[in-house]
Structure 1
């Protein structure tokens, strides 16, 4: 080596040694060794993560994983009896050790919160404006007129196209998507540095879900807000967050940048979460669906199990005639699953009420297993209902909380006087075994069951009469993706073994692709596209169908896009 080369090399070495080390930016939120206990029971153990300014981080995991408990600890909103230890620093200030009075100026002003269920978060007997004025009190603006103007401006910022009407409305007069926008607007009104969003889209249609998530991404960019997103859906988390923290039973299973965790999850639990996301695994249950596909291919549908022909239904509301279903026609071959998809208000619920005979159409005919449903009284439909059962969306509200599992599953047998007492007891146990529940649950009540167990009980109740057709009304929308995957596997196994025919109502198109054989896409009471699921999903012809499919979270490829500056969105009211 030449002398001058050695000199240069030594010079650079000395420069590197003496150069000041760049200071790492102070994170907006830092959590170290956070543990949360209720009495002797620890529900969160030694959790740590950092959230930078203007960045987003998602806490993901199933129900009971500790996601919401961590958020409540950060917000100092733990229920009575909850105790948090460790360190939580917001903008350099420790928040666990300060008094409630000392923390109160931060909550709402510097740390905003968007809860999961807007229907339960807003007072139903007060106008949106009255409740918004309470949030506006955090602005330290004494003039009510100025506060109202700021509220209206914020409502416009979150995509509510008629802020004054929203301001004057009661919660029941707005859609779920609009109510969620209201909550987001109230949370960002004081321009917080951190926004905590707890499952902000779990109860929304897929297109509205996308709009809400796009809105959060845009607000994060426009106002340099840090976002702590809580979700059970790995695809949503990967699409919207810079970093992920995967939790199970209150313990961190994996953490890191989104691209790394999503593309190559290191923990078995994260891999399972990824496998349970319908959008990422459309053919997961292909083998179980084969029996239904064979029915379609071999033409065994010559005599459909369900026939809906030219059905129309109108309602009169406040003197105006509204068409809820217009000229609906579809058939469902025996042993297959037909999906009805569309946004809220598309007519799905009206269609299944007509199918079940709970409403009578103005025109058209419906038959199930060759038996007409239309034009018959409830008494005359009793025989049809034995072979036509319904599984509701929310088992917690559809199951009597005072009854045991045994009573709930047995009741249909008692009502139809099926068999002897001993035969009914045996049939109840068979139905529970069909949905993979043990006999030890027979004496439990719904409140002592998990969400997935409650839904299995609801399915067992529908199975106990050995029906030919089961209508499934959003049966997994309230469940975590892992529990949802278990329920889907149960349903398809039952169909393959018993030859059941399903009508599956859902707004989740990714789940429909996994479960259904044929699909009708509904929009404003009409079927705009109909056919085999693979044909519709691979080559949609209608703009509305294309918009539904475009709303399915796609995972980490979307996350890279979500981190780029977003244009302001002009979104019409849902």
Structure 2
């Protein structure tokens, strides 16, 4: 069954131009967008060929999402003024009445939003929501629609499509939810898909699978892809053409290889410099401690693989600030015992950075909770500063936590929106009863100054700060009690690469100046190579590889590590040694059956 083709208008003035083979699928000319008197998009223009791919890149506030919303006609006239030209397959969409544009949504113009968790209704099953997309193909029989939905779920690589169909969003992982959204978007066979940061919240390996899937669909179904991203490496690897935006204006555009290899503007060059995979040694000289080559014979020299061996948790010649030795932790869920952490060992020297890496479900979060004393291990030992955290009383744990602070992943949810920044940063001092009122005020001021926030930041609320500024507040809150160890749980995953670079520079400076010890939790190995001295790779609760950053990256011993390294955007040409029994790559999806669509 063929999907309807709403390429023309349904009445009124005919704005459809004859489409030739050379005509672009999408043409944007002289696009301007203003919110009230504030102009946010300035004379933007670009074209996208049928079956082609184009990436809009830039920092937050550069106008990427606003341009996408203009193309999708999601900007409300009461909120925004839009002028210029946006043509889809020859049809001018900006001047269409809503009743004329509505048939284009879904059928010709698909949209994959950034956050799959908020894009799907949490109280309706996946199948019930999928039927809304299936209704666009014109099939009235519910049984036939269900068969089409299950086939598309299978074709986008969802395991057990029937289970996915019957599930609710909270029962699926982030990667599975993103595949569901892609399936629902391509089911009606649109001509153009707008993908707004479709992988920003996903593990690097899942990100690669999703981007591979979008690329396969684009080629096999001749769908145009408009990709919105802040990551120049992803854009260059996945798009034919790049459009670099700053403050709502085009800085430069052209073929991806050209813009990526030889950017003409300072702004594009800065974006390139902020890509972790392209600048692995950027922060190495800023960190404290011995040079990397002196680490080669210490605690991190052993490599743990699937044979069950694990490295010693202590070193022969340097005392460890943190020592985790053969720690195990199990949980019971749905009547089954799940071993979340299985014989994990690692050590961190004072003033060093140790990274825990792995995909979701690898055990990173449980390991951190055990380190912080939020969970107690079933077996094994954990010491911080030479003191064991096992079996401590509540008061004892409070004393440990004063010297062991945490910076959360998401600065948009970790700060109380009703409090001013000064109170947020002062809260740990109040809870630990540190100093007098005047002493606390001085500490708050010093902490905010140390993370580079303006003097009036203490009187603002989180909503008045950017994402990067909010994360600086979170770091200031962790540092205000002057800890020895800071646990950083994906501290930059919600930030643009340029803002991320500023936070990483800050962390490197603070470590050098204060002698801090970091435990850095991440799924992004490119980032880990920039910031860490040593690394443990976790998979299904076990350490499968452990060593210095140079050892793990240059001489990976485990196929899982190789898979993580291969998934780093912008390193498709990275030369790595061959590893036996490498995991099978995600196979290309078969073409969607014409009979189903």
The answer on 1:70 being equivalent to 2:67 is yes
- How far, CA to CA, are the matches of 2:111 and 2:271 in structure 1? 26
The answer on 1:150 being equivalent to 2:151 is no
SS at match of 1:43: strand
- How far, CA to CA, are the matches of 1:506 and 1:556 in structure 2? 21
Q: Pick which of 437-446 and 296-305 moved more.
A: 296-305
SS at match of 1:178: helix
Q: Hey, what does 2:401 align to over in structure 1? A: 385
- How far, CA to CA, are the matches of 1:391 and 1:290 in structure 2? 20
Q: Hey, what does 2:496 align to over in structure 1? A: 480
SS at match of 1:190: coil
Correspondence 1:128-277 to 2 at 5 A: 128-277=126-275
Go from structure 1 to structure 2 and tell me whether the alpha carbon gap of 1:138 and 1:65 turns closer, same or farther (over 3 Å shift). Answer: same
1:568 aligned to which of 588, 592, 595: 588
Deviation of residue 319 (structure 1)? 1.2
Go from structure 1 to structure 2 and tell me whether the alpha carbon gap of 1:513 and 1:270 turns closer, same or farther (over 3 Å shift). Answer: same
Q: Is the 8 A contact 1:234 1:274 kept in 2?
A: yes
Q: Hey, what does 1:467 align to over in structure 2? A: 483
- How far, CA to CA, are the matches of 2:549 and 2:186 in structure 1? 41
- How far, CA to CA, are the matches of 1:54 and 1:449 in structure 2? 40
The answer on 1:318 being equivalent to 2:334 is yes
Unaligned stretches of 5+ in structure 1?
1-22, 559-565
Correspondence 1:146-545 to 2 at 5 A: 146-289=144-287, 291=289, 293=291, 296=295, 302-545=318-561
Deviation of residue 280 (structure 1)? 0.6
Unaligned stretches of 5+ in structure 2?
1-19, 299-314, 575-585, 591-597
- How far, CA to CA, are the matches of 2:220 and 2:288 in structure 1? 49
- How far, CA to CA, are the matches of 2:241 and 2:523 in structure 1? 28
Q: Is the 8 A contact 1:239 1:557 kept in 2?
A: no
Deviation of residue 296 (structure 1)? 4.0
SS at match of 2:588: coil
Q: Is the 8 A contact 1:33 1:86 kept in 2?
A: yes
- How far, CA to CA, are the matches of 1:146 and 1:112 in structure 2? 22
- How far, CA to CA, are the matches of 2:21 and 2:516 in structure 1? 60
How many equivalent pairs are there? 541
Q: Hey, what does 1:113 align to over in structure 2? A: 111
Q: Pick which of 409-418 and 122-131 moved more.
A: 409-418
Q: Hey, what does 1:4 align to over in structure 2? A: none
Go from structure 1 to structure 2 and tell me whether the alpha carbon gap of 1:569 and 1:139 turns closer, same or farther (over 3 Å shift). Answer: closer
2:42 aligned to which of 40, 45, 56: 45
Q: Is the 8 A contact 2:288 2:352 kept in 1?
A: no
Deviation of residue 466 (structure 1)? 0.5
- How far, CA to CA, are the matches of 1:413 and 1:548 in structure 2? 40
Deviation of residue 556 (structure 1)? 8.4
Residues 195-238 of structure 1, C-alpha deviation per residue, up to 9 Å, x if partnerless? 11000000000000000000000000110101000000000000
Q: Is the 8 A contact 2:295 2:548 kept in 1?
A: no
Q: Is the 8 A contact 1:109 1:191 kept in 2?
A: yes
Deviation of residue 98 (structure 1)? 0.6
Deviation of residue 567 (structure 1)? 6.4
Deviation of residue 375 (structure 1)? 1.5
1:57 aligned to which of 54, 60, 70: 54
SS at match of 1:310: strand
> Which has the greater radius of gyration?
1
Residues 455-485 of structure 1, C-alpha deviation per residue, up to 9 Å, x if partnerless? 0000000000000000000000000000000
Residues 539-567 of structure 1, C-alpha deviation per residue, up to 9 Å, x if partnerless? 10000000000000126869xxxxxxx96
Correspondence 1:539-554 to 2 at 5 A: 539-554=555-570
Deviation of residue 411 (structure 1)? 1.0
Q: Hey, what does 1:86 align to over in structure 2? A: 84
Q: Is the 8 A contact 1:154 1:189 kept in 2?
A: yes
Residues 520-543 of structure 1, C-alpha deviation per residue, up to 9 Å, x if partnerless? 000000000001011100010000
- Greater share of helix residues, 1 or 2? 1
Deviation of residue 380 (structure 1)? 2.1
TM-score, normalised on structure 1? 0.92
Q: Is the 8 A contact 2:288 2:351 kept in 1?
A: no
Q: Is the 8 A contact 1:112 1:192 kept in 2?
A: yes
Q: Is the 8 A contact 1:238 1:555 kept in 2?
A: no
Q: Is the 8 A contact 1:336 1:502 kept in 2?
A: yes
